[in-house]
């Protein structure tokens, strides 16, 4: 389902979204739903795991300092990050 993009920023954006969904144990297809980022959630622990992945990948792919990667993560998480809900249990079916 993952696409390959010519623009490396766009490619990284989609890779980061898919990684977030993988960590939060959501299906990749939800990105085609309207307002998917506000209808789903993840725990703080999952968010921290995603942040560590994001910082490592962003620093590696774009050769930027860690501080700049942290700023990029903050903006990206604000725009596309899932809501934080520590009661979220990915194993529970609703």
What sign for the dihedral angle of Cα 17, 75, 54, 89? negative
35 pLDDT higher than 70: yes
Question: Are residues 84 and 43 in contact, defined by beta-carbon separation less than 8 angstroms?
Answer: yes
Identify the residue whose tokens are 């620093």: 59
pLDDT at 85: 93
How confident is the model over 2-7, as a mean pLDDT? Answer: 70
Work out the pLDDT band at 93, boundaries 50, 70, 90: low
The string of pLDDT tens digits covering residues 53-87 is: 999 999 999 999 999 999 999 999 999 999 999 99
pTM greater than 0.85 (yes/no): yes
Ramachandran region, residue 25 (left: φ > 0; alpha: ψ -120 to 50; beta: rest) = left
């Amino acid at each position: 389902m993952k696409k390959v993009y010519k623009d490396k920023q766009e490619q990284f954006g989609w890779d980061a979204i898919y990684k977030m969904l993988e960590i939060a144990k959501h299906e990749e297809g939800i990105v085609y739903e309207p307002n998917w980022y506000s209808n789903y959630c993840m725990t703080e622990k999952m968010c921290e795991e995603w942040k560590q992945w994001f910082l490592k990948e962003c620093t590696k792919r774009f050769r930027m300092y860690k501080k700049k990667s942290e700023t990029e993560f903050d903006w990206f998480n604000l725009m596309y990050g899932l809501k934080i809900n520590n009661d979220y249990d990915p194993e529970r079916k609703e």
